[in-house]
Structure 1
Amino acid sequence: MRSYRRFPLLVPVLLCALAVLAARPTEEPRHGPHQAGGGGVGAEVARLYEEAAVAAQEYEEGRREAELQRSRAQRYEELLERERREAAVLREDLGRIARAQYRTGGDVPITARLILTDDPEELMHGQHAVWQADLAVNNAIGKSSRAQARLAEDEEKAEAAWKALEKRNTELVELKQRIERKLERARGRLQGQANDSAAAGTCRGAVRLDRPKAVRVSLPPPWVAPVETYEMSAEFGSGGSHWARRHTGQDFAVPIGTPVRAVGEGTVMKVSCGGAFGIQILIAHPEGYYTHYAHLASVAVDQGDRVGPGQWIGQAGTTGNSTGPHLHFEVRVTPQLGSGVDPVPWLAARGVHL
């Protein structure tokens, strides 16, 4: 059986699979009134996160398309193999007819055979059957030959399309790796700036992180998780050497620079730097609760700003008393530390299941 890469019906589908990378979102950061310079790194990290996500999505789409084509290729190859077997049977039939003609005087002109035969009617009947069979087989062989010629041409096109698809997927892998390397360097610069701010106890000011239009929704849910993709780590109430008594929130392990979202509608009560929580944001919500976001690398809001559910308010980091990149998230009944409730059931009661 021939390689599954070679069959004619894949050509148009394969050519459609070679999509061009989507346009990248751009950021135009606006700095808060106390901007100390260098805040553009946060916007760069956010942009690189989006580019990496787009590249990863397009690579996955290309990989799935390739798997689909392989499955189709196997089915089409089975059909082609059946056609080849049918053509072989036709050729064998033609050979039997040729041998029969030879044995019955097929090399003698039909006029001479009519003169010599004792039963001309039977001879003509047999000859007519031979002519019909011969014509049918010749037509089948001609059709098979034309089909083989088309197959050879389409195989060449299909092979070229497969190579183009594989090249495109390779390019997407390389693009994603380049973006990730740039992202890693930008994350390092962002965390360096965050450490300086936390050590000085002075925030750099808000670096506006405008969400790309491609991921905006017209009617966002009233409550969301504080980060989109995460791994839950230290739980509310757990013990550890890093906390005076018990852990006062829920930790989400995420890379430096991950966009942090307001979980619901509210007003920014406080943006501060330094201390055990490093760079932190406190938001007051209409129903009397407060949410706290700590160990950030940057902030995207100022005190007094109104925020909506899912709005980017900052970027995760590892400032303050932190052992690694993560978001420390609290839900409080008052603005003060120590009034926290378990964030997991609190969010679950609002339709957000972590």
Structure 2
Amino acid sequence: MALRTGTSARPRGALVASALSLLLFGALGLTGSAAGADHSENDGPTTPSAEVAVLYREAAVATAKYEEGRKAVKALRAKSRVLEAHLAKERGRLRLFREDVGRLARAQYRGHDDGLSLTANLLFSDDPEALMENVGLAGNGDRAVTHLVQRSARAESALAKAERKVRTNREAVESRTAHMASLKKQVDAKLQSARGRLQAQGESAVLAGRCRGATRMEQAASEYPRERWVTPVQNFVLSAGFGGSGSHWSHGHTGQDFAVGIGTPVRAVGGGRVVRVSCGGPFGIEVVLQHPGGYYTQYAHLSSVAVDQGETVRTGQWIAQSGTTGNSTGPHVHFEVRLTPDYGSAVSPLPWLREHGVPVG
């Protein structure tokens, strides 16, 4: 289902819910401090914004480890099946060898049922040389079969040992993967709860029309891209596109929606300067950047911001966290490319991104 944004007023039920949320969070001291929010906040580890940022990373790590374990289990199971097939084949060969040994033993027994020794047989034989030749051949056959039986027994022992080792490793990996799945589930549950609190905090700021100020997020150097231009979020699903029509927009849809979970880091698509940070209205919490070359980009329906007005940002810098504030039906980032910082000057964002070397859509 497409996640929509627009410029129409929010439903009365949503405003009532937001008002209740404002009363609750106002009583807890969580409402914004000043319109425009030109000051910074260094959130402690217990605030929703900081908690979501930490859990977002932990969830990514837990998911990666779980997937790594799941692939390892799959590979070990495949290896076990191959070894089991080899073992079954060797056991079949061993059974045939044993049958041959049994037939040879019975034949030798029948050949000496007169109880005479080899010496006596030689004395009474009409062709001693032929008898000795047959005895030699029989001995060679015995040795060949014995060698094959021993080799098969060794092979069976080695395969059985390898199978036990693979089974032990597989059980260990399966246990570890189950543990990682449990941890992943716990982190996901915590993240979902923290996202709810972060969104409620954003809703209260929008209803009050007062932003809380910048909530700084620690960003590692490796998380800054080398490209000059990037998408506003990572690991997204494109939803409502530019120019679309619907009940949520008084005119055509003016941007491109990137569907992501609440609290996802929102990136500056390119270097520039923050010209607007605002809360309230159909766009909810929004940030507008000015880029060299005369273009502006807007990021809307956020749950919190990580920059202040007038600040200079670089490509890929985290400037906010996604949400669903304002006239929004689900968590996403509404992204616009504009000719001015104001509403009404938007151009189609996906072709613009592609022209700037960002393959998307």
Matching residue of 1:18: none
Matching residue of 1:340: 346
Change over 3 Å in CA distance of 1:36–1:60 after alignment to 2 = closer
Letter in 2 for 1:177: K
- How many corresponding residue pairs? 322
Does the CA contact (< 8 Å) of 1:264 and 1:309 recur in 2?
yes
Matching residue of 1:313: 319
Matching residue of 2:5: none
Matching residue of 2:122: 114
* TM superposition score normalised by structure 2: 0.82
Which ranges of structure 1 fall in alignment gaps of 5 or more residues? 1-30
Matching residue of 2:19: none
Note if 1:175 corresponds to 2:183: yes
Shift of 1:224: 1.0
SS at match of 1:78: helix
Between the aligned partners of 1:72 and 1:237, the Cα distance in structure 2 is 53
Runs of 4+ in 1 over 4 A off after TM superposition: 36-39
1:261 to 242, 245, 267: 267
Matching residue of 1:8: none
Letter in 1 for 2:355: A
Note if 1:42 corresponds to 2:41: no
SS at match of 1:238: coil
2:212 to 199, 204, 209: 204
Note if 1:223 corresponds to 2:229: yes
Note if 1:127 corresponds to 2:135: yes
Q: Which moved more, 1:31-40 or 1:281-290?
A: 31-40
Note if 1:246 corresponds to 2:252: yes
Letter in 1 for 2:229: W
Does the CA contact (< 8 Å) of 1:40 and 1:207 recur in 2?
no
After TM superposition, the structure 1 = structure 2 runs for residues 268-307 of structure 1, keeping only pairs within 5 Å, are 268-307=274-313
Note if 1:161 corresponds to 2:169: yes
Does the CA contact (< 8 Å) of 2:42 and 2:216 recur in 1?
no
Matching residue of 2:155: 147
Note if 1:194 corresponds to 2:194: no
Between the aligned partners of 1:351 and 1:271, the Cα distance in structure 2 is 27
Letter in 2 for 1:175: L
Between the aligned partners of 1:73 and 1:152, the Cα distance in structure 2 is 11
Q: Deviations over 1:38-92 (max 9, x none)?
A: 7842122122122212222222222223333333333333333332232222222
Does the CA contact (< 8 Å) of 1:32 and 1:207 recur in 2?
no
Note if 1:185 corresponds to 2:172: no
Change over 3 Å in CA distance of 1:80–1:276 after alignment to 2 = same
Between the aligned partners of 2:162 and 2:350, the Cα distance in structure 1 is 58
Letter in 2 for 1:73: S
Change over 3 Å in CA distance of 1:108–1:287 after alignment to 2 = farther
Between the aligned partners of 2:76 and 2:161, the Cα distance in structure 1 is 19
Shift of 1:32: 8.2
Between the aligned partners of 1:245 and 1:227, the Cα distance in structure 2 is 26
Change over 3 Å in CA distance of 1:139–1:44 after alignment to 2 = same
Change over 3 Å in CA distance of 1:59–1:36 after alignment to 2 = closer
Between the aligned partners of 2:310 and 2:120, the Cα distance in structure 1 is 113
Letter in 2 for 1:117: S
Shift of 1:168: 1.5
Letter in 1 for 2:209: G
Between the aligned partners of 2:276 and 2:210, the Cα distance in structure 1 is 13
Shift of 1:37: 6.1
SS at match of 2:215: coil
Between the aligned partners of 1:254 and 1:84, the Cα distance in structure 2 is 55
Change over 3 Å in CA distance of 1:284–1:152 after alignment to 2 = same
Does the CA contact (< 8 Å) of 2:52 and 2:191 recur in 1?
yes
Shift of 1:308: 1.9
Matching residue of 1:6: none
Between the aligned partners of 1:62 and 1:277, the Cα distance in structure 2 is 42
Between the aligned partners of 2:332 and 2:244, the Cα distance in structure 1 is 16
Q: Deviations over 1:228-256 (max 9, x none)?
A: 12222222222233333222211222221
Shift of 1:145: 2.6
Q: Deviations over 1:151-183 (max 9, x none)?
A: 443333322212111112211211111110000
Q: Deviations over 1:98-143 (max 9, x none)?
A: 1221222176432222223222211111111111111121222223
Q: Deviations over 1:307-339 (max 9, x none)?
A: 222221111111122222221111110111111
Note if 1:104 corresponds to 2:111: yes
Superposition CA RMSD, Å:
2.3
Matching residue of 2:65: 58
Does the CA contact (< 8 Å) of 2:80 and 2:166 recur in 1?
no
Q: Which moved more, 1:315-324 or 1:73-82?
A: 73-82
Note if 1:84 corresponds to 2:84: no
Between the aligned partners of 2:158 and 2:123, the Cα distance in structure 1 is 47
Change over 3 Å in CA distance of 1:171–1:315 after alignment to 2 = same
Does the CA contact (< 8 Å) of 1:191 and 1:297 recur in 2?
yes
Letter in 2 for 1:236: F
Does the CA contact (< 8 Å) of 1:36 and 1:204 recur in 2?
no
